């Protein structure tokens, strides 16, 4: 994969973050870095006031740095901000941060040396993973989280090698044939003050949500089959009377999953008006589709944009202060996905419950096999509602308040990293809920005896579910099967659609 600074997608970042992808740097991007670096060197030589280059940081930005201080300021910048706490950042999130930063450096607006981007890619290609905590950013440049990762790149802190063994960063680097990175002026701030965590980990969370959405579409389609639902709400002519783009995308996706189904034939639906959780699938899933589309646009701009302060503008020969590191739009876009997913999840809860009611479905109570003495899926409803409660908690919008940082100079925040963590948690919970809907819907289709009338996409989906979760013929523990199917969903095995 070639990083260019301009065309990194959510899916490409996720693939690189999960490992096994060799990365290269676009020569044009390295040239842009060299050109912007010349502006830094000019500012140093001429003692031009440039934030974080020839001046202090934060509340000390009005202080000029003398020659002695300037020599070690990059190292001091990293060491003085590497304070992340909490559970260690998962390996794929750390890799996502490194990929995002390597790519954004290539835009040529950081003023950092090309050696920084090269070092990031060398670490990634060697399979090394910096060890860093996951808590410490309020969305204004991810300063503490980034610095905690950067500390390992200069040979301090701890790293995990390609063999999975953890050790002192300098030793792990040298074992991989790499020397710790030596910092020049501006380099420390370039490694610390950027949106690499919010952008990289946010893209990773969004990739999970995109995969989860396709799986939820598949599960909903199978529920429509098991219920013998009326498919007229998917009719493009009905949707066209209110042409919302999200509902059109959701309906088109459901239609692809139901391609070739007998339900499309006149008279096959059992009811004229189904419960809203089935009838309004295009609208409910449309909300998630719209939020995902907006989040993709914002995240990919963040991945391929500069998030530095100051920014180097080669065309005008300037280095100017700006707010590119502030992630308000990104945080809001990811929160919107979590909120939209809450609507989607509550509809899943409703559909799962409806499928167990004989008066609505004409199927056995709780989808238990007749004469089995089993309560079927009834006890699983408690799991369903607990998952829904946890999704609601993870999707709760973040409060906003004035920041107390830098003696009033840094008095606003975005909490975008918390939005990233919230969406990641929603993804993990949602996969379990979708797994349960798939298992319930598969049971309904088989009890009704209509598995032979499925179209090709659903006919292919059913055995994939059954390979993990066999039919429920008598009572047995289902927790491991739910987890196994959820793991398959989270790995994107149902992400490509029909």
Is a pLDDT exceeding 70 seen at residue 57? Answer: no
pLDDT at 253: 97
List the beta bridge partners of residue 135: 85
Is a pLDDT exceeding 80 seen at residue 272? Answer: yes
HSE-CB at 343 with a 13 A cutoff on CA atoms is: 17
Question: 456-483 burial by CB neighbour count: b if 16+ within 10 A, else e?
Answer: ebbeebbeebeebbeebeeeeebeebbe
HSE-CB at 368 with a 13 A cutoff on CA atoms is: 16
Alpha carbon distance 260, 458 (integer Å): 9
Is a pLDDT exceeding 90 seen at residue 284? Answer: yes
Q: Which has the closest alpha carbon to 231: 208, 257, 205?
A: 257
Angle at 101 between CA 169 and CA 146, to 5 degrees: 50
- What percent of the chain is modeled with pLDDT above 70? 95
pLDDT at 77: 87
**Mean pLDDT computed over every residue of the chain:** 92
- CB neighbour list of residue 43: distance below 8 Å, 6 or more residues apart: 50, 53, 54, 319
Q: Which has the closest alpha carbon to 314: 32, 50, 122?
A: 32
Sign for the CA dihedral angle at 241, 246, 249, 251 comes to: negative
Query: What's the rounded mean pLDDT across residues 424-447?
Result: 97
Confidence of residue 62 (pLDDT cuts 50, 70, 90): low
Multiple choice CATH, 2-194, 1.10.3370.10, 1.10.275.10, 1.20.120.80, 1.10.12.10 = 1.10.275.10
pLDDT at 239: 96
Is a pLDDT exceeding 70 seen at residue 123? Answer: yes
Cα 219 to Cα 182, 320, 441, 462: the distances in Å are 52, 51, 7, 10
Is a pLDDT exceeding 90 seen at residue 345? Answer: yes
Domain map (residue ranges) of the chain: 2-194, 201-490
Please determine whether the domains at 2-194 and 201-490 fall in the same fold group of CATH. no
CATH 1.20.200.10 fits 201-490, yes or no: yes
Which has more confidence, 120 or 317? 120
- What percent of the chain is modeled with pLDDT above 90? 77
Query: What's the rounded mean pLDDT across residues 282-299?
Result: 98
Q: How many CB atoms lie within 10 A of CB 26?
A: 17
The pLDDT tens digits of the residues spanning 178-203 come to 999 999 888 998 999 999 999 999 99
Confidence of residue 226 (pLDDT cuts 50, 70, 90): very high
Query: What's the rounded mean pLDDT across residues 220-231?
Result: 97
């Amino acid at each position: 994969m070639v990083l260019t600074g301009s065309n990194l997608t959510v899916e490409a970042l996720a693939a690189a973050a999960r490992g096994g992808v060799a990365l290269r740097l676009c020569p044009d991007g390295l040239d842009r870095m060299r050109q912007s670096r010349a502006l830094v060197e000019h500012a140093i030589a001429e003692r031009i006031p440039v934030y974080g280059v020839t001046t202090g940081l934060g509340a000390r930005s009005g202080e000029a740095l003398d020659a002695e201080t300037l020599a070690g300021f990059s190292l001091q910048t990293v060491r003085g901000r590497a304070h992340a706490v909490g559970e260690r950042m998962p390996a794929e999130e750390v890799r996502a941060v490194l990929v995002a930063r390597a790519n954004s450096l290539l835009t040529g607006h950081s003023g950092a040396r090309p050696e920084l981007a090269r070092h990031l890619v060398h670490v990634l290609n060697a399979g090394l993973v910096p060890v860093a905590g996951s808590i410490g950013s309020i969305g204004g440049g991810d300063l503490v989280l980034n610095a905690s990762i950067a500390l390992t790149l200069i040979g301090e802190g701890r790293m995990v090698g390609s063999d999975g063994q953890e050790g002192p960063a300098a030793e792990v680097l040298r074992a991989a044939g790499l020397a710790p990175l030596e910092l020049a002026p501006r380099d420390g701030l370039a490694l610390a003050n950027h949106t690499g965590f919010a952008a990289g980990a946010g893209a990773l969370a969004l990739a999970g949500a995109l995969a989860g959405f396709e799986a939820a579409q598949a599960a909903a389609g199978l529920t429509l089959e098991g219920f013998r639902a009326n498919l007229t709400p998917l009719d493009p002519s009905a949707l066209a009377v209110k042409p919302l783009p999200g509902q059109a995308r959701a309906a088109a996706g459901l239609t692809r999953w139901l391609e070739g189904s007998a339900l499309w034939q006149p008279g096959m639906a059992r009811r004229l008006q189904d419960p809203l959780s089935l009838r309004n699938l295009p609208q409910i899933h449309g909300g998630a589709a719209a939020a995902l589309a907006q989040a993709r646009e914002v995240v990919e701009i963040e991945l391929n944009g500069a998030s530095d302060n100051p920014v180097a503008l080669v065309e005008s020969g300037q280095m100017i202060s700006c707010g590119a590191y502030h992630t308000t739009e990104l945080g809001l876009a990811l929160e919107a996905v979590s909120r939209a997913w809450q609507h989607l999840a509550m509809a899943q809860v409703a559909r799962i419950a409806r499928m167990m009611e004989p008066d609505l479905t004409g199927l056995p109570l709780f989808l238990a096999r007749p004469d089995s003495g089993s309560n079927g899926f009834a006890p699983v409803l408690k799991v369903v509602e607990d998952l829904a409660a946890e999704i609601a908690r993870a999707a709760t919008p973040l409060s906003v308040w004035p920041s107390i940082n830098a003696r009033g100079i840094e008095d606003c925040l975005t909490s975008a990293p918390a939005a990233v963590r919230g969406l990641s948690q929603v993804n993990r919970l949602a996969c379990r809920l979708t797994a349960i809907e798939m298992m319930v819907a598969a049971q309904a289709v088989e009890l009704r005896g209509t598995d032979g009338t499925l179209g090709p996409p659903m006919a292919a989906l059913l055995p994939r579910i059954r390979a993990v979760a066999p039919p429920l013929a008598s009572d047995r523990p289902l927790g491991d099967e739910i987890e196994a199917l959820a793991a398959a969903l989270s790995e994107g095995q149902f992400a490509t659609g029909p």
